[in-house]
Structure 1
Amino acid sequence: MQKKTIKKIPVNAKLAALGNQFRKERPDDFWRFASFFTLENGQEHKENFDVEALCVMALGRTFTQDKDALYKSGGFRRTLSLPPIESWQDAKLGDCPRLAKRWLSYSEIANQRCFVFTASGMTVWLPKFELARKLFFHAGFIIRAAYQPNGLDMMFHLTEGEPGEGFHIFCPAGSGIPVAYLRIPAYRQFLSWLLLNKEIKASFESIWQCLNTEQTITNGYCRWIFNFIPPKALSGLEIQAQGAFDSEHNDLLVWEVSTLKELPHNMLKAVKFSHPDLRQSVGSGKAHQGNGNNSAAEQLEIDTEREPSQQKERALIELSTDGLSYSDLIITQIEYNRKKPISKPKPGDESASGAEKVVLGTKDDVIDGDGRGGDFAVLEDTQDETEKFKDRFTVLVELIWQLADDPELQLQSLVIKPLPAVKRCHLHLKADGSERCYLLAKFVYKGRIRYLLEVDTSDNKRRLTTRIFSISLGVREAELITRILTSLIKNSLRWPISAFKTHAISLSLIRHALSNDHIASWRLRILAGIKIPRQKQKT
C-alpha cells in the first residue's frame, strides 16, 4: 500500500480544534484557516492551511500517515436521528461543557459556532463547520466554489431536456473542475444532488452569503468565524457521529459526522455530464475510464502550499471514504467529447515511473506552477456493485427503467448485489464459480412501498419466479431481505414460503418471459403485480 503524508502535519498528531478563517485584504489572496493539534508528547501544535485541506479536517482524527491510512477517527460513536431544524439552537463552542479546558482559553476556538439540539435523549453539540464539511466539502474545487459568489453557477451550466428527457450538466473548460472527478459515479451523484435540489444548493450558497456579511477587516486581514444555514430537509435524517461524550450529563460534543443517510433527493431523471476535456481513452481494443490516480510511488506527500502547474492533469488522492446515501436513486451518465489513445508514461514522469516519493500540490492550478496537482477523493460509490453486476439482469433492468416512467410509480432504489455466503452451502455461487446475484427494486405506489426481488438462475440450477411484495408493519426491511436470501440458499434456491407468508403482504409471483417475443407481456405482468390492490396488514 502507498504511504500518504501531509507535509505540515506531524506524524500521529491529533486534530483537536479549528480556529478562524482568514485572508489578506487583497484580491489575489484566498481563504485559509487555523488548526490546532495535540502531538504525541502532549504539546500543542498550530498550523494554517488553505481551505482545500478542509476535506480531511474532522476533529478527533489522528494523522497516523502510515501505509494503512492517512488518518484514523476517534471518539465515542453514536447513531442519532436529527430533530426538526426549527428546534436547533445557535451556540458558541466555548459554552459546551465537553470542550477541553486547554482550548477554552483560545478565544478563536471558544467562539466557533455550533448547533445545539436534543437527540436520542442526549444534548448534542454539533460544530457548524463539521456539518457543512460532511454535507458539501468533498473536493477542493467544491470548497473553492463555496467561498465565491455564484461559485456553482460559474462551474456548472445546468439545462433540462424535453419532457421525458433528463438533465445536462456542462462544465466549461477552465472552470476549475478536475475531469477525473466526473469519471467517478459517486461524485457525479453528489454533484447532481447538490445542483438539482434547490434547498440543498441554497444551503451551500449560504456559506458565501454568511462570509460576505459577517467577515471583519482589521490590520490588513479579513477574518471570519464559519457559518451557514442548514437545509430543513435534514430534519429526521439518521447520522452516525463520534466525539466526546459525558455520560453523567448526557452531553455529546461531535467531532466527526461519519455517515449521513437518506439525503433528500426527488429528481429521478438521469443526469448527463459533459466537459471539453472529457475524453474516452481507448487502446488494445478496450475502453478505459481511469480516474487520474496513476501514481505508483511508494510514498505520496501532500503539499497544501504548493501551486501546481496547469500543464499536468491532476491526480486523485484516494482516502477512506465518506458515507453518504440518498433517498432516491441518482442515475448519471458521461458524454465524452471524443476518444483518445492511451498514452504511455513519458520519461521522467515521476508519478507513473514508480518513484520512491511523489509530491502533489492541492492548491488551485496556476500557469507557472510547480509540479503536478492533486485532489482529495473521499466519496464512496454506493452503486459500485450495482454497476458492476447490472449485466446479470440486462432485460429486467431495462424494464424497471420503463416502469419508472409510469406517472403513478416512483422508483426509490435499485440494488444489484451478490447473494450472501452461507456456511456449508455453495449455491451463492453459480456453476462457473462466479457470484450469484440478486436484484432488489423498491417502488412507491399510492403511498405504499412495493419490493421487486429477483435472483440470477441463468446457470439453470432452478427456475424462480420474480417476487413482488410489501412488508408487514413492524418488520425491518434489511432483516427480512437477508432472511429471505439466506433461506433461499439453504433451501436449494427455493423461495422461503413461510417468510413471505408471515412477513409479506400483497404478494405477486411473476413468471419470466419465455423468449424476447414475450418481454412486453412480462412487463405488463410486473406492472400489474406492483399495482395489486392493498391487502390487509398481518398482525
Structure 2
Amino acid sequence: MPSYQLRGIVPDTRIQAIGQLFKSMQDSTWTVSIQFRPTQNKRTLTLSQGPILYRKSLLNSTTEQKQGGWEQDFSIEDTSDWEERQIKDCPIMGCRNRWDGDQFCFVFPIEGQKTVYLPEFELARALFFHDGYLARTSLTSNALNLEFDIQTDEDSNSALVNVLPSSGYTLRHLNDPRSRETLAWILLDHDARTAFESIGNAQLLQGRNRGTNRVWDFRFSPPPLPGASFGVRGQFDKQTGTLFVYKIDKIQNVQANVPTNIIFEHPDFKHPVRPDGPGESPIPIRPQGSLEIDDDTSPNVNTLTTIINSANMSIDFSNPFTTTKRTSKTKITPYGKPGEGRPVNGNFIVSTDEAVAGEELASADWNNLNDDSHNGHLFDNKFSVFMRLIQTLTQRHGCRLLGKNVYPLPPIARCTKHLLANGDPRCIAVAYISAHNYFVRLLEVDTSDAATSLSTQLVRASHPTRWPRDLEQITSQLVKRSLSWPTDLLKSLYGRDGHQGIPHPQTPSNNKGILTAESISSWAERVAGWIKRVY
C-alpha cells in the first residue's frame, strides 16, 4: 500500500474539529471546514476526503500513527430513542467552547451509566463514506436512482444491479468485494438507503444561502441498526460519565435486509484473456512511492483510478450475502484484468475529486474498509474443509483459534493469478492460532479452480502491528510467482525454521485443487507437530 500525503497540509497535522460544510453557488463541490493543529493556511478539505475525516486523525504523518482516545465497545437496541443535540451541549469540560460546537450529535445512554455524544458526520462516515464517490453522492439528490438500475427476484432471493454508463462509481471499487457489499447494502436495504438519502434531503431543507455560498451543518436520519455493536475512540469524562466520540473503528452485527445473491453488471466489465503476442492495454498506475493528493484540483475523466487504502473502518453484517460480477465481454490484455495497475516509482500527484474532462491529474479514490469487513461468511464457505482442519486442531490438539480473516489477493502488473478462472477474486484465508504458549498463523489459498496445488503454509506469528506488512509482501509474491510460496521471503521474515509448508491430504487427480473431507485427522496431526518445530 503506497503512503499518501495531502498537498498543502504540513507534516504531522491533527484534525482537531470538523465544522460546517459549504460550497459555492456556482460549483457542485462541497468542502468541509476543519480546525487543524498546528494552525496553517489551509483550513478546509473537500468532501471527497470524507473517508479519512475524523477527529484526532493524523495527516501527513512522519512516524507510525498512534490512535488516540479512550477505547469503548458497546451495543445498542436500536437508534429510535437517540436524541439530537449540538456538541456545545456536551457536559465534558471544554465542549461548550469548541470550534465545532454548533455541529450536531446523536446522544444516547449505554451500559455502565454512560452517555455517548456521537457526531452525526462521524456516524455517516463510518456507515457510508467508504470512498469519495459515496461521500459526494450523499449530497446529490436522486443520484442513486440516476446511476443504478435495480431488478429484484423474490422467488430466487436475488437482485441484479445494473451500473449505468453515466455512473461515477469506479470499476476498481466494483472489482473489490468489500466495496461491492457496502454499495449493495446502501442500494438494496430500505433503511440504509433511506438514511443515506436523508443526508441530501437534510441539506436541501436545512442548508442556508450566505452570500455566494451554500452552507450547512451536517445532519441526517440514522438507520435503525437493531442490535448493532460499536467499537469507538473518544474523550471520556469520569465525573459526568460522558463519552464524546472521535472515531468509530468498527460496527458489527449490522442487519442487511437484502437478497442473498446480488449480481452487478457494468458495460465495461470484461473477462481478461491473455494474448499470444505483445499488446497494450490501458491500465492504472500503481505507485511504488508516495501519492500526493491535490485537494484543490479535479482529475481527468479519461484516467483510470488508483485506489488509496486507508483501512480505518470495519463494518460487519449479521446475515451473509454474496455479490458477484456478471461478465459478458472479453478483452485481450497482456496484463490480465483491466485495472491491475502498472508500477511507477517516485511521488505521484493525484486527485480524489470527481473526474472531469480537460484536467491533467490522474484520478484516485479512497477505500477505508479493513480487509476483515464482511468476510466471515467467505471463510466458512470458500474454506469449509480448511475450517474443519482448524476445528480438529482445537478439539484434539489443544489449540485455540484467536482470529480468522479472508483477504483477496492483490492485482499485480502482468499477472492474473489474483483471479479465479471465473474472474472472481482469489482469496487467502488466515487463521491465528495458539497452542501450548506457541502462536502461529496458518495460510490457505483458494485453488478451487484447480489452478495449482498449493500446500498450507504455517508461519511463526509476528507482532500484530507488523503482520499487515508481512501479509502484503507474502500475497504480492504469491501472485508474482504464479501461486508458489515465496520461501526466500518467508525465511527473511521468520527465519530458516520459522515457516513450513504442509501438504494437503492426497486427492484424486481429477479433483486437483479441491480438498476432500478424508484424511482431516492426519492432516491436523501433521500441522500440530509442526507448530512446535517453528519455535
The reply to whether TM is greater than 0.5 is yes
2:80 counterpart SS class: helix
One-letter code aligned to 2:215: R
CA apart distance, 1:44: 6.5
1:57 aligns with 2:47: no
- Residue 456 of structure 2 corresponds to 434
Work out which of the residue numbers 94, 99, 106 in structure 1 matches 2:88. 94
- Residue 472 of structure 2 corresponds to none
1:16 aligns with 2:10: no
Work out which of the residue numbers 285, 290, 301 in structure 1 matches 2:292. 301
Alignment of 1:525-536 (within 5 A): none
CA apart distance, 1:487: 11
- Residue 108 of structure 2 corresponds to 117
- Measured in 2, the distance between the counterparts of 1:256 and 1:486 equals 41
CA apart distance, 1:269: 2.4
- Measured in 2, the distance between the counterparts of 1:426 and 1:297 equals 30
- Residue 179 of structure 2 corresponds to 187
CA apart distance, 1:213: 0.5
1:277 to 1:85, Cα distance in 2 relative to 1, 3 A: same
CA apart distance, 1:134: 0.4
1:30 aligns with 2:24: no
1:235 to 1:164, Cα distance in 2 relative to 1, 3 A: closer
- Measured in 2, the distance between the counterparts of 1:337 and 1:165 equals 22
Kindly indicate whether the alpha-carbon contact (under 8 Å) linking 1:260 and 1:324 is maintained by their aligned counterparts in 2.
yes
Kindly indicate whether the alpha-carbon contact (under 8 Å) linking 2:208 and 2:214 is maintained by their aligned counterparts in 1.
yes
1:344 to 1:238, Cα distance in 2 relative to 1, 3 A: closer
Cα shift readout 1:168-210 (whole Å, capped 9, x = no counterpart): 1011113111111000000111111111110111011110111
- Measured in 1, the distance between the counterparts of 2:239 and 2:524 equals 42
1:91 to 1:45, Cα distance in 2 relative to 1, 3 A: farther
- Residue 365 of structure 2 corresponds to 375
- Residue 48 of structure 1 corresponds to 44
Work out which of the residue numbers 333, 342, 353 in structure 1 matches 2:333. 342
1:384 to 1:427, Cα distance in 2 relative to 1, 3 A: closer
- Residue 104 of structure 1 corresponds to 97
One-letter code aligned to 1:82: I
1:226 counterpart SS class: coil
CA apart distance, 1:339: 1.9
Kindly indicate whether the alpha-carbon contact (under 8 Å) linking 1:317 and 1:376 is maintained by their aligned counterparts in 2.
yes
CA apart distance, 1:140: 1.1
CA apart distance, 1:248: 2.3
CA apart distance, 1:10: 1.6
CA apart distance, 1:141: 1.1
- Measured in 1, the distance between the counterparts of 2:63 and 2:149 equals 40
Kindly indicate whether the alpha-carbon contact (under 8 Å) linking 2:87 and 2:105 is maintained by their aligned counterparts in 1.
yes
One-letter code aligned to 2:351: G
Work out which of the residue numbers 203, 227, 238 in structure 2 matches 1:247. 238
Work out which of the residue numbers 61, 79, 82 in structure 1 matches 2:76. 82
- Measured in 1, the distance between the counterparts of 2:328 and 2:66 equals 40
- Measured in 1, the distance between the counterparts of 2:110 and 2:434 equals 37
- Residue 166 of structure 1 corresponds to 158
- Measured in 2, the distance between the counterparts of 1:395 and 1:130 equals 38
1:308 counterpart SS class: coil
CA apart distance, 1:342: 2.6
- Measured in 2, the distance between the counterparts of 1:275 and 1:171 equals 5
Kindly indicate whether the alpha-carbon contact (under 8 Å) linking 1:36 and 1:45 is maintained by their aligned counterparts in 2.
no
RMSD: 4.0
- Residue 200 of structure 1 corresponds to 192
Q: How many residues align?
A: 423
Kindly indicate whether the alpha-carbon contact (under 8 Å) linking 2:162 and 2:265 is maintained by their aligned counterparts in 1.
yes
CA apart distance, 1:84: 3.6
One-letter code aligned to 2:433: P
CA apart distance, 1:390: 5.8
TM value normalised by structure 2: 0.70
Work out which of the residue numbers 315, 326, 332 in structure 1 matches 2:317. 326
CA apart distance, 1:63: 1.7
CA apart distance, 1:46: 5.3
Cα shift readout 1:374-402 (whole Å, capped 9, x = no counterpart): 000112343668758966558999xxxxx
CA apart distance, 1:32: 1.2
One-letter code aligned to 2:126: K
- Residue 123 of structure 2 corresponds to 131
1:281 aligns with 2:236: no
1:15 to 1:462, Cα distance in 2 relative to 1, 3 A: closer
1:359 aligns with 2:349: yes
Work out which of the residue numbers 151, 168, 171 in structure 2 matches 1:176. 168
Alignment of 1:401-420 (within 5 A): 418=431, 420=433
- Residue 6 of structure 2 corresponds to 6
Kindly indicate whether the alpha-carbon contact (under 8 Å) linking 1:278 and 1:338 is maintained by their aligned counterparts in 2.
yes
Kindly indicate whether the alpha-carbon contact (under 8 Å) linking 1:273 and 1:332 is maintained by their aligned counterparts in 2.
yes
Cα shift readout 1:399-419 (whole Å, capped 9, x = no counterpart): xxxxxxxxxxxxxxx997647
1:144 counterpart SS class: helix
One-letter code aligned to 1:281: P
1:418 to 1:220, Cα distance in 2 relative to 1, 3 A: closer
1:99 to 1:196, Cα distance in 2 relative to 1, 3 A: farther
One-letter code aligned to 2:143: G
One-letter code aligned to 1:213: L
CA apart distance, 1:125: 0.7
Kindly indicate whether the alpha-carbon contact (under 8 Å) linking 2:228 and 2:254 is maintained by their aligned counterparts in 1.
yes
Cα shift readout 1:142-175 (whole Å, capped 9, x = no counterpart): 1222111112111211111472262110111131
One-letter code aligned to 1:130: E
1:167 counterpart SS class: strand
Kindly indicate whether the alpha-carbon contact (under 8 Å) linking 2:16 and 2:55 is maintained by their aligned counterparts in 1.
yes
- Measured in 2, the distance between the counterparts of 1:392 and 1:61 equals 36
1:242 counterpart SS class: strand
- Tell me the percent identity: 21
1:295 counterpart SS class: strand
1:276 counterpart SS class: coil
1:490 to 1:207, Cα distance in 2 relative to 1, 3 A: same
- Residue 523 of structure 1 corresponds to none
1:256 to 1:419, Cα distance in 2 relative to 1, 3 A: closer
- Measured in 1, the distance between the counterparts of 2:169 and 2:56 equals 30
- Measured in 2, the distance between the counterparts of 1:270 and 1:238 equals 25
- Residue 409 of structure 1 corresponds to none
Kindly indicate whether the alpha-carbon contact (under 8 Å) linking 1:16 and 1:37 is maintained by their aligned counterparts in 2.
yes
Kindly indicate whether the alpha-carbon contact (under 8 Å) linking 1:23 and 1:29 is maintained by their aligned counterparts in 2.
yes
CA apart distance, 1:87: 2.4
One-letter code aligned to 2:303: K
